Amino acid sequence: MNIVVQNIERADPAVIAGLAECGVATVHEAQGRKGLLASYMRPIYSGAQVAASAVTILAPPADNWMLHVAIEQVKPGDVLVLATTSPSDAGYFGDLLATSAKARGGVGLVIDAGVRDVKTLTEMGFPVWSKAVCAQGTVKETLGSVNVPVVCAGASINPGDVIVADDDGVCVVRREEAAEVLRKAQDRLSKEEEKRARLAAGELGLDIYGMRGTLAAKGLKYV
Amino acid sequence: MNIVVQNIERADPAVIAGLAECGVATVHEAQGRKGLLASYMRPIYSGAQVAASAVTILAPPADNWMLHVAIEQVKPGDVLVLATTSPSDAGYFGDLLATSAKARGGVGLVIDAGVRDVKTLTEMGFPVWSKAVCAQGTVKETLGSVNVPVVCAGASINPGDVIVADDDGVCVVRREEAAEVLRKAQDRLSKEEEKRARLAAGELGLDIYGMRGTLAAKGLKYV
Amino acid sequence: MNIVVQNIERADPAVIAGLAECGVATVHEAQGRKGLLASYMRPIYSGAQVAASAVTILAPPADNWMLHVAIEQVKPGDVLVLATTSPSDAGYFGDLLATSAKARGGVGLVIDAGVRDVKTLTEMGFPVWSKAVCAQGTVKETLGSVNVPVVCAGASINPGDVIVADDDGVCVVRREEAAEVLRKAQDRLSKEEEKRARLAAGELGLDIYGMRGTLAAKGLKYV
Amino acid sequence: MNIVVQNIERADPAVIAGLAECGVATVHEAQGRKGLLASYMRPIYSGAQVAASAVTILAPPADNWMLHVAIEQVKPGDVLVLATTSPSDAGYFGDLLATSAKARGGVGLVIDAGVRDVKTLTEMGFPVWSKAVCAQGTVKETLGSVNVPVVCAGASINPGDVIVADDDGVCVVRREEAAEVLRKAQDRLSKEEEKRARLAAGELGLDIYGMRGTLAAKGLKYV
Amino acid sequence: MNIVVQNIERADPAVIAGLAECGVATVHEAQGRKGLLASYMRPIYSGAQVAASAVTILAPPADNWMLHVAIEQVKPGDVLVLATTSPSDAGYFGDLLATSAKARGGVGLVIDAGVRDVKTLTEMGFPVWSKAVCAQGTVKETLGSVNVPVVCAGASINPGDVIVADDDGVCVVRREEAAEVLRKAQDRLSKEEEKRARLAAGELGLDIYGMRGTLAAKGLKYV
Amino acid sequence: MNIVVQNIERADPAVIAGLAECGVATVHEAQGRKGLLASYMRPIYSGAQVAASAVTILAPPADNWMLHVAIEQVKPGDVLVLATTSPSDAGYFGDLLATSAKARGGVGLVIDAGVRDVKTLTEMGFPVWSKAVCAQGTVKETLGSVNVPVVCAGASINPGDVIVADDDGVCVVRREEAAEVLRKAQDRLSKEEEKRARLAAGELGLDIYGMRGTLAAKGLKYV
């Protein structure tokens, strides 16, 4: 049963923009330390930091047909998220598909497989988080699905969920929880400011967080 | 039986130069999606793009003696290609060997093992594609061979074959097929230009490639 | 038995500074090719080159409590070295801890686990060599120890040992051997200068090192 | 938010028993080639073949507290399914926990982490499918959850889903689809009987499945 | 260009039978320590020891169509050897294909990918050496080739080469060299008998092989 | 500096025998959850359970010369423990070396590399815990050391330390602590007997260990 779900709901663009500013580590903490993709997902270049609505793809190994199908479903501000039915490091995506995705308003790709033309993608400023960089070509023979729930790099992702990605990796935020997570993330950031200042001044986390008593109670000995 | 084959044939320098311009992904596609080395072979710095004739080395684990032997066989425009008889991530190659290889006209190294002094190699502009960056020293105790057929990172490579390498990885083109592959690669590139323009204008791959009928025939449902 | 050893001995700062200039590959060779950490330990950004005294940490998986404890033990010129009791790629360390470590004079982190906030750490110029980049949060529930001998990424490290780290990876030098290793490393570097010049002029390692006789004696055949 | 969901729905025991007889490969095919856990999940001994209702556990790395909590929720015919919040290979489960799980009617464990006491577990006939065999001890410090949806070894599993496991690995069947999947699996098995007989008699799949025309049409050449 | 080569040459059956008796480690040594496949290739059950002529298959990832094609080319005493164009751990082969291969006289499978139905294959006594055990289903959509040279698990294998496989792994012997390798292997075995007796009697390898002088000359110190 | 230390101290044979009976998981717990080797160290056959004094070997990659040297140092009840200076999966050890080691009273091998002839070793009842099974041959060219401190599979091991190994893996106990660890391990085992009986009777760990209060205090909710 291979389907393309055409009209998915997305989170509020203002919320998405806010999450982008918070970054992966803060968002991940703010939502209770869940939603992180496996650490093998690495950006093809440093410095990109995005948040975007997921257009999900479930694709066969080394078959990128569904990427062509998915690009039609991309709306401005979306990110493509590709999971495979069986592990693959083939190069599903290159500069032509990036040109097409960008023309539709796509802002990036998260792929539990390989990507190629990374030099051109870098020049285009089209960020990709992937398991591998690999030039291996793919076929267009077997169907998959678009905008169905997927497990990508160990995380469960629904279409329309918010993907936050930067140099630390990739995190998913449930669409329904995005506003609440943003609030908590911003709260966290504001509190970090004060702590950063105190730590920069040489104060110790042991004192700021009041850890000395608990450490002693657990039995830590200084010798 | 350890041998050094001294006079190998090389492809036409103009063909090699043409392949360098095409890059790994295009060349790999143009020759029927074969010849790619495993995706764990990564460049030590971004941006290098070369094509060169392979001087092949079969070396014992953590023993770089044959690299010294191989450098004598390097002619201007050659790339060293090292495979091991048993897996190793030791640092076979550093700035002294790079200085020597460069002095002979060598343009890079592809090594299914480790490399070191990568900061200096980067400053020298001597590109290396390797399985690992590792400072572990090597010995000079056991013979190997130079300019024999090897399997390097999963690809079969003969001396004199053309190696194409860039940020996407490494591909080998048989010497005898190099001119034909170049023709197909250039043909492919020129066709991509037109497609890129149409995709950039917002046209969909689904339409450009006429995929809608086949997708429907295979049973893809839009919901 | 969880302990914090408070007053560790350190090597002579001048010796440490000298080792930093030599770099990992040279220092590793100079001390007889020992002390290298596993090659999966990679820097979060290119170009950093440090030598520093190790403040060691043995920490539970995904629990960064002991990092707070360790920072109090940091003196100017120290590097934090974290090993785990069981493998983990969680993000033990981010920009707040780096701010704190830096305020105490810490010059970097070597961690057989994950690190996060790498964009900010890079901007701060606080170098980290790690097994993973990962935003996964950690807890503060279980004790470990500080300044005890640890095995980190396959190398045995004692508190106060000198850590040398650069783009090639990480190497440990025993505190007691640091001065002697520096002497040998500097000797090695000065000898390399002459070799580099001869190799750059096109002379072969085969001749400089007088290898031809040995190769023939071992049975290498030129064909 | 750490919770224990106490009353989960389970599939019909007769359906579960039927799925056990079909085995992983057949069940996986019958439900459209989905639901398979990653191939690194291996049985601690050969020959076990079970189907059971999942009592799911989301646990911190190297912390097995939630296993004690989960065992109270086990009903006869259940299997424990443990996912971690961050990768771990620690030994969460051994012969004491197996004794307890067995006393409650539990029939096995699927764990995306490590298991220990495997010799005793084998003697007890308590099957485990795990990522690792590892004696590393765990703590009881940090909460997780029981009977919440988890991603285990790359597969999304809900409490009460049917787990099918044998020497080929582990597959999950949605509780709601179990009866339908069983019907298709049994249908598939009955059809395989006839094919097996024909293949055993020397007939070729090429002829039984009528592949020769399609192969020729796709361009396969016999030389 | 997808082809099936129909009439391949095979080595002398008596030579093949002789190689089976020698086993992988001896054969590998006898031919100069070459031809070994990567050590991740493991048997699905212990104790099998075969030598057979390779019917080679180059297959796309997760597509087992070419196995059906290859089985028609199997003659009594052959082993199927499958390499992929891109890495895969999918379950290409199960009990139906084994039934068919066995009916044609096939004696085993070497596959740089996954296998399933391993319990039944074990009961059938049909040995498989594979990279993975995995129930993941495959498609029949994309052509590959049969009886072309392949690189399988890092070893170059030609159709008709002799595959030797046992609990130690898999080794390939060139068809043209098989008789010579057998002679050397048998010679090696007969010499080992005498050594084994002396070692069993407590004599040391140091003395039998006369190593003490060389060790001292290289600088080994007893303290 | 390559040395062979000839007279090492060993633990009391009665203590060693006691530790063997306790097994890896219990001993590891009894000494405070330390000393475990990485979980990739697996036995070549199931069921072996040994404790023995370590004769340590530091060897170059794919060079087994030092094994011959080490066997002379083996006394009845010793186990060989081999670490490498750089990672290798080559087959350092086979049936001839096992025959020799057994003749000297050796009871097994722990090797952070490869082993071969595993069928024969199994028949001989000579247990090996290794990183790989691999037939790849080794050379005898480069010195290493015997009975020096080594890091093997992530654990620091001194000559004469007690190695405990079974189906759960391998653990090291410091020679000086062996008697104390045995006492604690036996104590632990006797306490487990009572717990096992209560758990087998259906009592819950939650009650036996009095966990309900702590769980509630930490915030676990039952829903």
Chain centre distance of CA F156: 12
What percent of chain C shows pLDDT beyond 70? 100
The reported pLDDT for the residue numbered B143 is: 97
Average of pLDDT values for B28-34? 96
pLDDT, one tens digit per residue, over C112-130 is: 999 999 999 999 999 999 9
Average of pLDDT values for B85-105? 98
* C-alpha dihedral, E197 to E201 to E202 to E203, nearest 10°: -60
Using the predicted structure, report yes or no on whether residue B40 has a pLDDT greater than 90.
Answer: yes
The reported pLDDT for the residue numbered A111 is: 98
Q: Do D33 and A85 touch (CB under 8 A)?
A: yes
Instruction: Show which subunits contact D, needing at least 3 CB pairs below 8 angstroms.
Output: A, C, E, F
Distance from CA of C98 to the nearest CA of A (A): 9
Using the predicted structure, report yes or no on whether residue E200 has a pLDDT greater than 90.
Answer: yes
User: What does the angle CA F65 – CA F66 – CA F69 come to, to the nearest 5 degrees?
Assistant: 105
Distance from CA of B132 to the nearest CA of F (A): 12
Distance from CA of B143 to the nearest CA of A (A): 33
Distance from CA of D177 to the nearest CA of E (A): 19
Distance from CA of F113 to the nearest CA of B (A): 11
Residues of chain F with pLDDT under 70: none
For chain D, the average pLDDT equals: 97
The reported pLDDT for the residue numbered B161 is: 98
The reported pLDDT for the residue numbered E104 is: 97
3-state DSSP of D53-95: EEEEEEECCCECHHHHHHHCCCCCCEEEEEEECCCCCCEEECH
pTM given for the model: 0.97
The reported pLDDT for the residue numbered C194 is: 92
Average of pLDDT values for C99-112? 98
CA dist D47 and E165 (Å) reads 24
Shortest CA distance from D32: residue in chain E: E137
CA dist C139 and D59 (Å) reads 13
The reported pLDDT for the residue numbered E1 is: 84
CA dist F110 and D67 (Å) reads 32
CA distances (Å), origin D179, targets D32, D164, D187, D191: 14, 14, 12, 19
Of E202, E221, E223, the CB nearest to F104: E202
Q: Do D133 and F220 touch (CB under 8 A)?
A: no
Using the predicted structure, report yes or no on whether residue A100 has a pLDDT greater than 90.
Answer: yes
D171 touching E (Cβ < 8 Å): yes
Categorise residue E46: left if φ over 0, alpha if ψ from -120 to 50, beta otherwise. beta
Categorise residue E63: left if φ over 0, alpha if ψ from -120 to 50, beta otherwise. beta
Kindly state the tokens that stand for B78.
């050659």
Average of pLDDT values for D93-121? 98
The reported pLDDT for the residue numbered A43 is: 98
User: Beta partners for E129?
Assistant: E43, E110
User: What does the angle CA E3 – CA E8 – CA E12 come to, to the nearest 5 degrees?
Assistant: 160
E86 touching A (Cβ < 8 Å): yes
A112 touching C (Cβ < 8 Å): no
Contact D152, D57 (CB under 8 A): no
The reported pLDDT for the residue numbered B1 is: 85
Q: How far is the first Cα of chain E from the last one, in angstroms, to the nearest whole number? A: 65
Of F1, F33, F149, the CB nearest to C85: F33
The reported pLDDT for the residue numbered D3 is: 97
The reported pLDDT for the residue numbered D136 is: 97
The reported pLDDT for the residue numbered C28 is: 97
Average of pLDDT values for A142-151? 98
Average of pLDDT values for C131-142? 97
Q: Do C156 and F155 touch (CB under 8 A)?
A: no
Q: What is the ipTM of this complex?
A: 0.96
Q: DSSP labels for C185-221?
A: HHHHHHHHHHHHHHHHTT--HHHHTT-HHHHHHHT-E
Contact yes or no, E with C (3+ CB pairs under 8 Å): no
The reported pLDDT for the residue numbered E59 is: 98
What percent of chain B shows pLDDT beyond 90? 100
Using the predicted structure, report yes or no on whether residue D1 has a pLDDT greater than 90.
Answer: no
Using the predicted structure, report yes or no on whether residue B144 has a pLDDT greater than 90.
Answer: yes
H/E stretch holding E169: strand E169-173
The reported pLDDT for the residue numbered A1 is: 84
Who's near F216: CB < 8 A, 6+ residues apart?
Answer: none
Q: D205: pLDDT confidence band, cut at 50, 70 and 90?
A: very high
The reported pLDDT for the residue numbered D157 is: 98
CA dist A133 and C167 (Å) reads 21
pLDDT, one tens digit per residue, over A104-122 is: 999 999 999 999 999 999 9
Contact yes or no, F with C (3+ CB pairs under 8 Å): yes
